[in-house]
């Protein structure tokens, strides 16, 4: 796989949300050594759902009946 994917802890993404009150996403990306796309995705998810991480839907066998 091409690229430098790495796990970014939820606490760091939450910090980006805090920083976004005073900084542009491009500046946050620069100072945290992350891509602007990743920062924007976390900020958008936070705005839409209130959480910086996307959780999968719970699957139940009862739902399949």
Cα 60 from Cα 29, distance rounded (Å): 38
Per-residue pLDDT at 57 exceeds 80 = no
Residue 60 lies in a domain: no
Cα 46 from Cα 20, distance rounded (Å): 11
Cα 42 from Cα 58, distance rounded (Å): 21
Domain tally, the chain: 1
Q: Which of 53, 12, 11 is nearest to 32 (CA)?
A: 12
pLDDT tens by residue, 13-44: 999 999 999 999 999 999 999 999 999 999 99
Residue 56 lies in a domain: no
Domain, as residue range, for 39: 10-49
pLDDT at 65: 58
How far, in Å, are 31, 33, 54, 56, 64 from residue 13 at the CA level? 13, 12, 12, 18, 34
Better-predicted residue by pLDDT, 7 or 40: 40
Calculate mean pLDDT across residues 47-54: 87
Give this prediction's pTM.
0.76
């Amino acid at each position: 796989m091409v690229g430098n994917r790495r796990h970014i802890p939820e606490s760091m993404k939450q910090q980006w949300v805090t920083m976004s009150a005073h900084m542009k996403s491009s500046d946050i990306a620069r100072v945290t050594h992350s891509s602007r796309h990743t920062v924007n995705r976390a900020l958008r998810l936070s705005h839409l759902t209130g959480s910086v991480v996307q959780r999968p839907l719970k699957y139940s066998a009862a739902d399949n009946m």
